[in-house]
Amino acid sequence: MTSGGLELVAHDVSVQFEGLKALSEVTLAVPRGRITGLIGPNGAGKTTLINVLTGFQSASTGGVELEGQAVNGIAAHRLRRIGVARTFQSGRLFRDLPVIDNLEVTGIGLGQKRRDAIAEAERVMAWLGISHLANTIAGALPYTDERRVAIGRAIMCTPRYLLLDEPAAGMSEHESHDLAVIIRRIAGELGVGVLLIEHNIGLVLELCERIFVLDSGEIIEVGLPAQIRNSDAVRHAYMGTQQEELLPVEEAVAS
């Protein structure tokens, strides 16, 4: 895999915890302006890989490059300032603050003056269609709105890359469709490289140009959605047995 282009790249990343190898020589690239998928069964190492790419976890071996520049060992908050953002499975909003303050705090953390941070928060809320939530206390938000606010925080100041850690978890089919529209806009309108990590395999197959499949800390398949849908290796990873066709994959996971 080449480096130096407009990509966020993990090169041969391995992570070991007290003798247990969580990741083993994983190589993955997230291009700017495109949506890349990362799937795999529970315990595959997906969140560990996100943590490495965003500076929350150091690689034992291998490294990370941001558009050709090594960013190994750079702290998470510094990586965010140079354009690598993420969401968390748990949302991690400031639950006692209004929505606009949640976004404003992010802007200030990224070095904006308060006035500029407020203006940026208002711009992001309008872009996402959540301006009506500005004064709602974050802890009172419905689950789906909480997820949208978390994405809003992550796209403050328009990062170069956004890693979404299971953003559709717990969503209905209709809510997942609305989320898909937002993700497409983030990549297409903002030019952000998106890495989508999801158990909703249907959403990944629908949105992603290229999909990486992680199992037991190793990349076992990389390809277009059609290739992933028809992969024996992916079927085996999710179901423990090979079958004639991937049900499609999302049905296999649900079962």
pLDDT of residue 240: 59
At residue 238, the pLDDT reads 78
- CA 206 from chain centre, in angstroms, equals 16
Q: Which tokens belong to 100?
A: 């606009």
What letter would DSSP give residue 131?
G
**Which two tokens mark 51?**
């943590």
**Superfamily of segment(s) 7-91+159-254:** P-loop containing nucleotide triphosphate hydrolases (3.40.50.300)
- What sections of the chain are H helices per DSSP? 46-53, 76-81, 99-109, 114-128, 143-154, 173-188, 201-207, 225-229, 232-239, 249-254
Query: What tokens appear for 8 in the block?
Result: 């966020």
Give the count of beta carbons closer than 10 Å to the beta carbon of residue 124.
24
pLDDT tens figures, 111-167: 999 999 999 999 999 999 999 999 999 999 998 899 999 999 999 999 999 999 999
Structure tokens at 242: 């090979």
pLDDT band, residue 5 (cuts 50/70/90):
confident
- Write down the pTM of the prediction: 0.90
User: What's the CA gap between 204 and 146, in Å, rounded?
Assistant: 21
Please say if the pLDDT value at position 252 is more than 50.
no
Domain range list for the chain = 7-91+159-254, 94-140
Helices 143-154 and 173-188 cross at an angle (nearest 10°) of 10
- CA 141 distance to own-chain centroid: 22
Q: CA-based angle 54:55:58, to the nearest 5?
A: 125
SS3 12: strand
Q: What is the mean pLDDT of residues 19-40?
A: 95
Q: Which of 62-66, 71-75, 207-211, 249-253 has the lowest mean pLDDT?
A: 249-253
Indicate the SS3 state at residue 25: strand
**Beta strand 218-223 with 210-215: parallel, antiparallel or unpaired?**
antiparallel
DSSP at 245: S
**Looking up tokens 């996971």, which residue turns up?**
253
Q: Per residue in 195-230, pLDDT tens?
A: 999 988 899 999 999 999 999 999 999 999 999 998
Q: Measured between alpha carbons, how far apart are the two ends of the chain, in Å?
A: 35
Q: How confident is the model at residue 19 (pLDDT cuts 50, 70, 90)?
A: confident
pLDDT score of 92: 83
Residue 245's pLDDT is 39
For residue 250, report the phi and psi dihedrals to the nearest 5 degrees.
Answer: -65, -30
**Does residue 193 surpass a pLDDT of 80?**
yes
Question: Region 42-71: what's the mean pLDDT?
Answer: 94
